Amino acid sequence: MIHYILRRLGYGVLILIGVNLLTFFLFFTVNTPDDMARLNIGGKRVTQEQIDKWKAERGYDRPLYLNREESGVKQVTETVLWERSVSLMLFQFGRSDSARSADIGHEVSKRMVVSLQLAVPLFILQVMASVSFALLLVFFRHTRIDFWGVVLCVLMLSISSLFYIIVGQFFFSRVLRLVPISGYAPGLDAVRFLILPIVLSLLSRLGTEARLYRAMFLEEIGKDYVRTARAKGLSEIRVLFRHVLKNALIPIITSAGSYLPYVFLGSLVFESFFGIPGLGAYVIEAISGQDFAIVRTMVFLGSMLYIASYLLVDIAYSVVDPRVRLQ
């Protein structure tokens, strides 16, 4: 397994380098540093002096790829490519392109804590609720409970998450006044602000996840080992939890593993609508403010988290199923 993990990490580094370089070239193919300066300064009449000053303050006055006037290592290190792209591999994120020119690394570490407060409880509750609801439908399969449960799942997955947000904010915040409509507070006060987005995000994904898990459980329920367990006198509940659930863990881990990057990067939609200062809202602010330094950093972090999450999923396969061998 050690050799497999090291090989996957090596592939992951190559993928990160490719994504990093491709992102850099795409950004500077679409927008030159002069275009970025005009977008950030704003206004119709932007002088060349203002553009040159903005570029000098943020290091965009250097050559993009190669400094032909110099030679050796200095030729490479004094380019925008090195400072703004290669340095990401060393987790040196630099400063943003906005007027505040804030340190990106500090902002990411500060906002990641907020995103984790929202995403970790949501991730745990999502898996528990989806698996429990799917097992309930399988337990009552071929009954009215199963039929109407599937209908409910289809309805829930057909509704946009924006509908849940608008209705939830109106009903629970405006009408019942149980929770604030938006905002955030540190410490224990954060619970009042996070409980509504957690519940609404859970509802928006419950239909899709429960229907998927139900199909997995139904596929397992008709196999020989389940009939053998019933023949031995085991109750239906013990069959579901001790045999069916255990053998369906691999697809559940796959589905849950694909959600792990969102646990760290936050939810773009929910953080924006509820005014939660997490990484999701940070990305939306950067996109709307044309802050390409932040966007490039978040693309790099997202790629790294996806690679790490799928590596963890592969390792989890070998833990839950001894038949899986990582070679």
Give the domain ranges of the chain. 2-90, 111-320
Average pLDDT value for the chain:
83
57 to each of 5, 28, 50, 111, 241, how far by Cα in Å? 42, 18, 11, 25, 61
Confidence of residue 323 (pLDDT cuts 50, 70, 90): low
Which CATH class for the 111-320 domain?
mainly alpha
Going by C-alpha positions, the residue among 183, 185, 176, 179 that lies closest to residue 199 is 179
Dihedral sign computed on CA atoms, order 259, 265, 269, 270: positive
Confidence of residue 309 (pLDDT cuts 50, 70, 90): confident
Percent of all residues in the chain with a pLDDT value above 70, rounded to a whole number: 91
Query: Quick check: pTM over 0.75?
Result: yes
Farthest CA pair distance, the chain = 84
Q: Kindly calculate the radius of gyration of the chain based on its CA atoms and give it in whole angstroms.
A: 25
pLDDT at 43: 62
Give 168-187 pLDDT, tens digit per residue: 999 998 898 888 888 888 88
Q: Does the pLDDT of residue 157 top 60, yes or no?
A: yes
Confidence of residue 150 (pLDDT cuts 50, 70, 90): very high
pLDDT at 33: 78
Going by C-alpha positions, the residue among 253, 265, 306, 274 that lies closest to residue 116 is 265
Give 69-98 pLDDT, tens digit per residue: 554 544 555 677 777 777 788 888 888 877
Which range in 16-30, 94-108, 149-163 is most confidently predicted, on average pLDDT? Answer: 149-163
Record the tokens describing residue 262, joined without a space: 């969102």
Record the tokens describing residue 185, joined without a space: 């507070």
Q: What is the mean pLDDT of residues 134-149?
A: 92
Going by C-alpha positions, the residue among 207, 199, 191, 205 that lies closest to residue 171 is 199
Rounded CA gap, 210 and 130, in Å? 5
Confidence of residue 99 (pLDDT cuts 50, 70, 90): low
3-state secondary structure of 103: strand
Record the tokens describing residue 137, joined without a space: 């439908």
